[in-house]
Structure 1
Amino acid sequence: MLRERSLFLQRGLFLADLALIAVAWVVAYVIRFQVLTPVDSVPLSYYVQFLPFVAAIWGGALLLSGLYQTRRAQRLTLVVWAVARAVGLSLLVSLGASFFYREFSFSRLHMVFFAILSSGFLVGLRLAIYAGLRRARQKGANVRRVLIAGAGKAGQRLSRAFRHYPWMGFEVVGFLDDRGTTVEAEPPDPFYPEQTFTPEVIGTLEEAGEVMDRLASENRPVDMVYAALPLAASRKIEGLAAECSIRTASLALVPDLFHIELLLNSRISDVDGLPVIHLMDEAPFDIRTVVKRGLDIAFSGLVLLALAPLLAGIAIAVKLSSPGPVFYRQRRMGLNGLTFDMLKFRSMPVNAEKASGAVWAQPGENRATRVGAFLRKTSLDELPQFFNVLRGDMSVVGPRPERPVFISEFRHRIPGYMLRHKAKAGITGWAQVNGWRGDTSLEKRIEYDLYYIQNWSLAFDLKIMAMTVVKGFVNENAY
């Protein structure tokens, strides 16, 4: 119910935002050409005919900006920041599109007024909606009373979510738990760190019917019962279903899976009407995935084009440093465990590992050539991997791929190691820009890789790319 109401509000907001953007576009024209400096040579029709294109561009940019994510907090500062980010992205896309249209030049002042007006309208709309909904809820309008069965992590997080979205109109009347009133508050949830409370247990699971009848007699009938219980508690869930079936309360299941530590991209899907719970999965394919791939191709193409003279110089230096090919192809494991040949500039003599076999790079080793040692220290030997990105084997940002021979050892020694292959391997990553590369802690590296996968966004990728450039390519752990 919470998700359905959130989606309804998001779609309504999106349509309202598009309408306000159209209004801001016209009002900006009036201010620029009829109030400040009246100009008859630029009729309103010139700007109105571009409204469909403006709406399409801004609609796509607003969706990509994350403005309609369900976790958006309702603090004024966060609302303003979210709108500012969305407007900034929309303006950037609009200006980029107008660059290719030469038949008509938009007024720069008009675009400034348009940005200010659209920002004000979008923020004002949200403040008006939230203020109206809060006022209506305070008066008891359409409030739905919720009883949560299970006061564990799942139940407490659910209650925090209802408190976090008071404008949704869900009132938690209490918890049912067989532990009685001894249930303690769980540690602060990272999604809602400011909300810490001790759950109010008003009965056991077997007393569900009595509790609902008592609340009904107090003129507080329960509308929804959420069973936030482990999957092993199937008999208790059946008991709740029986009690709800002879009353008007609806029943929803929220499986308590927090005892499973290694969850990744968990979600619920539908297969021919059957609900399927995904505990460990790769990121679902959506528009952001398409945009990420487009950015990978564009960025890699530009890098290879811009650095072509440098790449040619390195290739000559490698060829002159020792006999053998310029490039070194090494088998690595990528997305979903598929292997590929990762390209590098050759930094060691040919057959350097023939006698020793695969060896983990360590400080003080002398296997590299003089040119190769410099390339490794500056990470310039990694530049050919942009060809891997163009081929689709890798992404610009993602967990660094490893050799299968080492993975066979790490997968049994480090919990969750294989989960890093639920994302496409990258040239740079969150672990690398934080110094976890080379002969450093594998456990910390995996921790940072999994954090990246769980919190991935386009903005996160751009941050990592910027950190890679700012911190430079030279690293004390690169050898």
Structure 2
Amino acid sequence: MIRGKEKIMTQIYAGVDFVCIQAAFLLAWILRFDKVHSISHLPFSNYLFWGIIYGLSFMLIAYMSTLYIPKRKTKFATEIAKLLQAHLVSIFILLSVLYTIKSVDISRLFLFIFFLLAVLFTSIYRYLVKQSLRHIRRRGFNKQFVLIAGAGKVGKRYYQTIQRHPEFGLAVIGFLDDYCTELEDGYKPILGKINELEKVLSSKLVDEVIIALPLIVYPKYKEIILKCEKAGVRVSIIPDFYDILPATPYFQSLGDLPIIGIRDVPLDEATNRVFKRVFDVLFASIAIVLTSPIMLAIIIVLKLTSPGPIVFKQERVGLNRRTFSMYKFRSMKHMSKTQSDTQWTTENDPRRTRFGSFLRKTSLDELPQFFNVLKGEMSVVGPRPERPYFVDQFKEEVPKYMIKHHVRPGITGWAQVSGLRGDTSIADRIEHDLFYIEHWTILFDIKIIYKTVINGFVNRNAY
């Protein structure tokens, strides 16, 4: 049905994206200007020109961010995250060009409506396509036929995964194995031994061969790959050591040498880091402007109620285990650095001031950390940073604790919006932090910020 037409489908995807963006442009124009009292300073043709530029920019960014690769095994959330990133980069490009050429007559409201509609239209279109393809594949159409080389535990696990996900549109035709001649009920048949691969490929329709053999027969890998490439059949390898890896592995290259990384961290990619950094700077800047009256009021009350500095600086461990000074409004009586760095805050802590207790309960003491974000020491969302004294303790007591330092620490995080704030389990917090690190998307950040606002800033566990 769609077999062998992946390149055409990619072009169709890009073309429909462009059409959706232009449809969004037309609707944005109607909503903004097609009214009696709404007059544009520029003619429709000028706006149309920039709408086309935006559409072309989006397609270019989408190609660069691999948005148009085949998505049979890709999660829809991952696709939407890339889609949103492409839109945001495109609108930044458009705004930069308009600023550079000093085109100030373009309606900002129009651009805002256009951007939202473009994201909405392309997302809906992709959702409909994704659901349609899943429905088609569940009914047995648009299948890709898979042959599994290896009927051991790895091959069986791959088969079971395919059976649980019919929406992938993958159908196993059988197994090849040198030692097993028959499998229990519920599995496809053994079609022969590994050296009979060429005969099976010539007699049956096979789109992909999955190598699921143990490492002790590693010399056979090359033979299988050569035969598959000779027949024009794709081949993939499931490493036999996947069950000893602590996280989702990924491939990278050092010159001509392929390397398997044991933990895939999305923010290791330069484009993701830049995108998150831009988001952080914009969000922190807006937050500082909006909360400046509150911060001014806090400064005045602190000055009147308690002697000592207004802003409390404390050493914390951040990205790549580097230390930095984290800012907070002072909530305790002035004390020595040794006391503040090595003592855990407890309930009814006598060191707290009355106003400081209020600041800690409402999390208002953390507002100065938006300046840490602007400095690049923190992010709006990420694992909460800890003091070096406690980091040295936790890394010995909590497995994988130090992995949290692979990304910038945050003002709020997945653990915090999941109820793990203050005096709660460190191990549970780390599990949530690792989930965030391995599954980061800009949509995940927005979800965490949303939950932070919705859940409220009051922390019952904050002492």
TM-score range, shorter chain: 0.7 to 0.9
Shift of 1:13: 4.4
Letter in 1 for 2:194: A
| 1:370-449 → structure 2 map (5 Å cutoff) | 370-449=354-433
Q: Counterpart of 2:188?
A: 200
- Considering Cα pairs closer than 8 Å and 6+ residues apart, tell me whether 1 or 2 has the greater RCO: 2
SS at match of 1:367: coil
Q: Counterpart of 2:14?
A: 15
**2:173 aligned with 1:173:** yes
**2:210 aligned with 1:209:** no
Shift of 1:268: 0.7
**2:38 aligned with 1:52:** no
Q: Conserved in 2, the CA contact under 8 Å of 1:398 and 1:424?
A: yes
1:239 pairs with 212, 217, 220, which one? 220
In structure 1, C-alpha distance between the alignment counterparts of 2:56 and 2:313, rounded to whole Å: 44
| 1:53-132 → structure 2 map (5 Å cutoff) | 53-56=53-56, 58-59=58-59, 93=91, 103=105, 122=125, 126=129
SS at match of 1:324: coil
Q: Conserved in 2, the CA contact under 8 Å of 1:396 and 1:427?
A: yes
SS at match of 1:396: strand
Shift of 1:297: 0.8
Q: Counterpart of 1:155?
A: 158
Shift of 1:303: 1.6
In structure 2, C-alpha distance between the alignment counterparts of 1:362 and 1:386, rounded to whole Å: 26
**2:212 aligned with 1:228:** yes
What TM-score, normalized to structure 1? 0.72
Q: Counterpart of 1:276?
A: 259
Q: Conserved in 2, the CA contact under 8 Å of 1:175 and 1:203?
A: yes
Shift of 1:330: 1.3
2:331 pairs with 347, 350, 355, which one? 347
Q: Conserved in 2, the CA contact under 8 Å of 1:227 and 1:237?
A: no
Shift of 1:19: 4.5
Q: Conserved in 2, the CA contact under 8 Å of 1:344 and 1:385?
A: yes
Letter in 1 for 2:251: I
Shift of 1:60: 7.2
Letter in 2 for 1:208: I
Q: Counterpart of 1:187?
A: none
Letter in 2 for 1:200: K
Q: Conserved in 1, the CA contact under 8 Å of 2:299 and 2:310?
A: yes
Aligned length: 436
Q: Conserved in 1, the CA contact under 8 Å of 2:312 and 2:330?
A: yes
SS at match of 1:259: helix
List per-residue Cα deviations over 1:294-323 (Å, max 9, x = no partner). 111111112222222322222233334333
Q: In terms of mean alpha carbon deviation, does 42-51 or 281-290 score higher?
A: 42-51
User: Which sections of structure 1, spanning at least 5 residues, go unmatched?
Assistant: 185-197
Q: Counterpart of 2:147?
A: 146
List per-residue Cα deviations over 1:242-262 (Å, max 9, x = no partner). 366568456543314431352
In structure 1, C-alpha distance between the alignment counterparts of 2:430 and 2:356, rounded to whole Å: 27
Aligned in 2, Cα 1:261/1:236: closer, same or farther, shift over 3 Å?
Answer: closer
Q: In terms of mean alpha carbon deviation, does 417-426 or 249-258 score higher?
A: 249-258
Shift of 1:5: 9.1
SS at match of 2:174: strand
In structure 1, C-alpha distance between the alignment counterparts of 2:5 and 2:351, rounded to whole Å: 62
Aligned in 2, Cα 1:313/1:244: closer, same or farther, shift over 3 Å?
Answer: closer
Aligned in 2, Cα 1:148/1:27: closer, same or farther, shift over 3 Å?
Answer: farther
Letter in 1 for 2:190: I
Shift of 1:436: 0.2
Aligned in 2, Cα 1:130/1:280: closer, same or farther, shift over 3 Å?
Answer: closer
Q: Counterpart of 1:297?
A: 281
Identity %: 33
Q: CA RMSD in A?
A: 5.0
Aligned in 2, Cα 1:309/1:171: closer, same or farther, shift over 3 Å?
Answer: closer
In structure 2, C-alpha distance between the alignment counterparts of 1:439 and 1:124, rounded to whole Å: 41
Q: Conserved in 2, the CA contact under 8 Å of 1:146 and 1:222?
A: yes
Q: Counterpart of 1:191?
A: none
In structure 2, C-alpha distance between the alignment counterparts of 1:463 and 1:30, rounded to whole Å: 30
